[in-house]
Amino acid sequence: MRGIKQWLGRGFFRPSLSGMLYLFLSFNGLHVQAESTPRYRSIDSLIREGFINVSFVSLGAYQGNCVEASLENRTGNWIYVWIEAGRRLIADDSTKQDIFIVKDNKVKLGPWAKLKTRVFGFCCQSSDGAPKEKMKFSESYMAPPDWVRLAQFLNAANFETNTIQSAVWCLSNNHSISGVYGAPEALVKALKDTLSAIKKIPVPWYTTTYETNDTSVFTGDPKRISGKFNYYVKHHGDLVIAIKNKSGNTVKILSEFFNHGEGSFEYHFDLNVKGWTKGEYHLVVYEDYATLLATKSFKIE
C-alpha cells in the first residue's frame, strides 16, 4: 500500500520539470494570443464602467478628420477602445453643426495612459454653421439604425469628401439622392443604391449640383442638372429635344436635329438651372415636332 502511495505521489502530485515547462509554454501561448487579438469595446460601455474618460473637441472644420478625441485610461490594464462609425457628436453650441462619424477608430490605450486621436466625421446639420476650433462636443451617442447602416457602408470604402458629405445630408437633412456624385462611378452607384434602400425611394437618373459660397456649408440653390438617357428613332426625320414644365409649356430647346437617322441613341445633357423655379420638369424628345419618342422627368429642389 505504501508503495502505491509513493508511486501516486511521484506520478500525479509532483509534476516533472518537462511537464511544468509544457504548462508554462501553453499558458504563455494563450496569453500572447489574447494580446494579439484584443477585443475592442465601445466607448459607451468603457465610460459607463469607469474605465476611461473621453472628450471631443473641434479642429475647426466640418468634414474629414475634423474632431480630436482625448482618451484617458483610468486603470492599470491595457484597454482597447472603439470609437464607432455611426456615432453622433453633439455640439455645445446649438447654432453649430453636430458631427456624424463615418470611419471606425480603434485605439490601444496603455495602463494609465492618455492620448489624442483624430476622428473622421461629417456635418449632419446643413443649415447650421461650421464648428469653431476648440469648440467642445457635449456628448455622443449611436445614431439610428439607418444612419449606422450608411456609416458602415462609408467605412468600408474610400469616397471623395464631397460624396460622403452629400450622402450624409441625404439622411440627416433629407437632401435628394441626385446630389450625390463623384468617382469611381460604380462605387458611387452602389452608395446611391444603399441610400435608395434606406429611404425606400428610387435613385434619380440625373445629378444635381448646387451653388457654393464662403458663408454657408450648403446654399440649397441648384446650379446644374446633368444626366444621360436613351431614345430610339424608327424613321429619318427632324428631332427636337426640349424641356417642358409641369404645365406642359416649353421652357427651353436643348437641341434640334434635322434629317436625323434611324436607330438607338444616347443623349448627354448638362443644364444650367440657376434661377429656375423649383419644381418638376420633363425632358422630351419629339420626332417631326409631333411624335413623342422619349420623356424623362426631373426635379429642381
Domain residue ranges of the chain, discontinuous segments joined by + = 2-36, 42-210, 225-300
Q: What does the buried/exposed string (b/e) look like for 34-50 if buried means 16 or more CB atoms within 10 Å of the residue's CB? A: eeeeeeeeebeebeeee
Spell out the residues 6+ positions from residue 234 whose beta carbon is closer than 8 angstroms to its own. 262
pLDDT in tens, 63-96: 999 999 999 999 999 999 999 999 999 999 999 9
- Which is nearest to 98 in space by CA: 136, 66, 121, 124? 124
Instruction: Identify which of 284, 292, 186 has the alpha carbon closest to the alpha carbon of residue 229.
Output: 284
- What does pLDDT average to over the chain? 89
Q: Note the pLDDT of residue 1.
A: 47
Nearest to 263 by CA among 296, 227, 230: 230
Estimate the share of the chain in helix, then strand, then coil, as percent rounded to the nearest 5.
25, 40, 35
Task: Pick the more confident residue, 141 or 24.
Answer: 141
Q: What is the mean pLDDT of residues 40-46?
A: 96
CA distance 219 to 173: 13
Distance CA 139, CA 101 (A): 13
Task: List pLDDT tens digits, range 244-280.
Answer: 999 999 999 999 999 899 999 999 999 999 999 999 9
Q: Give the least confident one: 26-40, 107-121, 199-213.
A: 26-40
So what CATH class is 225-300?
A: mainly beta
Q: b/e per residue, 228-260, with b = 16+ CB within 10 A?
A: ebebebeeebebbbbbbeeeeeeeeeeeeeeeb
Whether the predicted pLDDT of 159 surpasses 90: yes
* pLDDT tens for each residue of 184-210: 999 999 999 999 999 999 999 999 999
Report whether pLDDT(212) > 70: yes
Kindly provide the b/e burial profile for residues 92-106, where b requires at least 16 CB atoms within 10 angstroms of the residue's own CB: eeeebbbbbbbbbbe
Q: What is the pLDDT of residue 36?
A: 62
Residue 25, pLDDT > 50, answer: no
pLDDT value of position 24: 40
Contact 218, 210 (CB under 8 A): yes
Residue 32 has pLDDT above 80, yes or no: no
Kindly state the helix (H) or strand (E) to which residue 7 belongs, with its residue range.
Answer: helix 2-8
Residue 3 has pLDDT above 50, yes or no: no
Q: Name the helix (H) or strand (E) containing 154.
A: helix 145-155
Cell triple for 129: 454653421
Of 108, 139, 124, nearest in space to 66 by CA? 124
10 Å CB burial of residue 198 (0-12, 13-18, 19+) is middle
pLDDT value at position 50?
96
Q: Are 80 and 45 in contact (CB under 8 A)?
A: no
**76: Cα separation from own chain's centroid:** 36
pLDDT for the residue 139:
87
- As a dihedral over the C-alpha atoms of residue 28, residue 33, residue 36, residue 41, rounded to 10 degrees, the angle is -110
Q: Are 118 and 90 in contact (CB under 8 A)?
A: no
Percent of the chain with pLDDT over 90: 82
